[in-house]
Chains A and B, each alone.
Chain A
């Protein structure tokens, strides 16, 4: 069917990938951002008189990607949406234990938060968290079991209820239970949830990352949806790291580190804004307050005492399992 020489070449190329390439293993909704960023970085790298370099991309659910790197996917850098996905690699010895402090801002070059996407004109008048648990409101949330997106949504709802004037953990539990009672389905991933809300027309509000919500409202279907920013939500830091074991073996530590550091450059931060991630540069964030309205952002550390504790909500038999009862037909 094919000339054997082609096959041999292909095999040889796979066996000995040239070191002048980097593989960035990332999560689902960063494709558009990294397509632009990779171009910018390659230009910058070559302008600094380095040898030409190419960046390869791999995208899938954040936790699935972490698992693939653990199983041997040769990622030079990982760019995830949740601390735990890189910590998993650190625990396995692929990433140095001090990965959080090697780069500024807990190694997260941009952030996002959980907001609501509603249909044009906001027919159900959804303004803040309490509006989501009213009777007759249907909310689309990705499953917290399988998606980082869903976990952040759950944590954001919990944080909002806990920090309300008469809030407590018990009140938060009750609120999150009521919220998921209004969720007719739990799509497995962020993009699946978007497709359910946009393509299939399900639900009155979609809970998702601000970056995803803005992208839908401004790029994919302009004029059909509105983004509602609640008074408070969760700070979602998207951490990055080089994979020490891979870069040491391939001799790519220098370009891989430069690739991540450049995310904090003016150009990197501006591209983050272009793709609706909140930049770390305070001046840039303030200048774009029209896109990113100020809101009270709580951290996972402050509300839950770190990811290790937060993660307990989602284990089998954890709080989420106790709260969520799928609708019986």
Chain B
């Protein structure tokens, strides 16, 4: 999670490009060597293992895994949960970034800090709070149960937990960008008679679209991969409330190693695709940010 924060586009990089190369050659070689060894050991090797294990029983067996109804359902449920959580968090992130960068109001710094909260607490807590609120012994649980509405141990709980763990991503991606871009263009549009919607669609959105896409992609990646929070509220009902990450654990515990790794490889492929799109969006977002920095009168607030 901490890594995700560090990779948000901030100010243009390489402000002092010569600093890193000013070290003696030996130091550089050792550091680069360590980085490569680290990457090989902690990223490349595990990824290789996942794909090798997934295909250990052959390609037909790999595809047969997804014909199992419980596995197919886990894939579907993951897409449904992400399909609800990501659009909602996109709306929330846009609204939050808009209000936090366009208006000055009391409590604004507190809100900016609070947006990060889900990144700092353990996802298990993200799940437990919903059990405490909506569980049979929780605050609102008895009322919902009396009215036959399932929140936890059902789809709504899974969506709630997913929203909780992914809600900072879009806002976090947009806030620095919108801060750097300032409000002059919006003010110009306003003085020319544009209304709020027109300003948003024709001026703001085109300026932030790459930053927004970047946030949505990170949000989606996390939504599909979330384990801890969802595990607490899922109830683990086979073919009903298991998402892909939960199903992987179940398959592994059932000694179906090839099947577990087959599902894991799908998540890995999704992650790699995400990485490619993310890199592109990040690059475009940085361009937008750099452009904003060039044209802005004020230095960037970081």
Give me the interface of A with B, judged by CB distance under 8 Å. 1-2, 6-7, 10-11, 14-17, 23, 28, 31-32, 56-60, 68, 70-74, 191, 220
- Do the beta carbons of A73 and B235 come within 8 Å of each other? yes
Among candidates A15, A56, A74, A191, residue contacting B238 with C-beta atoms closer than 8 Å: A56
A309 to chain B, nearest CB (A): 27
Give the residues from 226 to 262 in chain B that come closer than 8 angstroms, CB to CB, to chain A.
235-240, 250, 253-255
Report how far A31 CA is from B255 CA in the complex, Å: 11
**Interface pairs (30), CB distance under 8 Å:** A1-B82, A1-B87, A2-B79, A2-B80, A6-B80, A7-B80, A7-B83, A10-B80, A11-B156, A14-B154, A17-B150, A23-B237, A31-B254, A32-B254, A56-B237, A56-B240, A57-B237, A58-B238, A59-B238, A60-B236, A68-B153, A70-B136, A70-B137, A71-B131, A72-B135, A72-B141, A73-B153, A74-B153, A191-B253, A220-B255
- Do the beta carbons of A71 and B137 come within 8 Å of each other? yes
Give me the interface of B with A, judged by CB distance under 8 Å. 79-80, 82-84, 86-87, 131, 134-138, 141, 145, 148-150, 152-156, 235-240, 250, 253-255
- Do the beta carbons of B253 and A72 come within 8 Å of each other? no
- Do the beta carbons of B150 and A74 come within 8 Å of each other? yes
Report how far A7 CA is from B236 CA in the complex, Å: 20
List A contacts of B145 (CB < 8 A). 72
Report how far A1 CA is from B84 CA in the complex, Å: 8
Q: What 4 pairs across the A-B complex have the smallest Cβ distances?
A: A72-B136, A1-B83, A71-B135, A2-B83
- Do the beta carbons of B235 and A68 come within 8 Å of each other? yes
Closest to B250 in A: A59
- New A-B contacts (4) at CB < 8 Å, excluding given A15-B148, A72-B136: A11-B155, A14-B150, A68-B235, A191-B253
Report how far A313 CA is from B153 CA in the complex, Å: 32
Among candidates B87, B148, B236, residue contacting A16 with C-beta atoms closer than 8 Å: B148
Closest to B145 in A: A72
Chain A CB count within 10 A is highest, among B136, B235, B237, for B235
Closest to A21 in B: B240
A115 to chain B, nearest CB (A): 19
Among candidates B134, B137, B149, residue contacting A15 with C-beta atoms closer than 8 Å: B149
List A contacts of B240 (CB < 8 A). 56
Report how far A32 CA is from B138 CA in the complex, Å: 34
B23 to chain A, nearest CB (A): 36
* A14-B156, A16-B148, A59-B250 known; A71 vs B136 contact (CB < 8 Å): yes
Report how far A15 CA is from B138 CA in the complex, Å: 19
Report how far A57 CA is from B238 CA in the complex, Å: 6
List A contacts of B237 (CB < 8 A). 23, 56-58
List B contacts of A17 (CB < 8 A). 150
Report how far A16 CA is from B236 CA in the complex, Å: 18
List A contacts of B156 (CB < 8 A). 11, 14
- Do the beta carbons of B239 and A10 come within 8 Å of each other? no
A194 to chain B, nearest CB (A): 9
A187 to chain B, nearest CB (A): 12
Report how far A253 CA is from B143 CA in the complex, Å: 23
Closest to A94 in B: B136
List A contacts of B136 (CB < 8 A). 70-72
- Do the beta carbons of B239 and A56 come within 8 Å of each other? yes
A319 to chain B, nearest CB (A): 30
List B contacts of A71 (CB < 8 A). 131, 135-138, 141, 152-153
Report how far A56 CA is from B149 CA in the complex, Å: 19
B158 to chain A, nearest CB (A): 10
List B contacts of A56 (CB < 8 A). 237-240
List B contacts of A60 (CB < 8 A). 236
- Do the beta carbons of A59 and B236 come within 8 Å of each other? yes
List A contacts of B87 (CB < 8 A). 1
Closest to B79 in A: A2
Closest to A199 in B: B257
List B contacts of A70 (CB < 8 A). 136-137
A149 to chain B, nearest CB (A): 13
* A14-B154, A15-B150 known; A7 vs B238 contact (CB < 8 Å): no
B151 to chain A, nearest CB (A): 8
Closest to A69 in B: B136
List A contacts of B79 (CB < 8 A). 1-2
List B contacts of A74 (CB < 8 A). 150, 153
List B contacts of A16 (CB < 8 A). 148
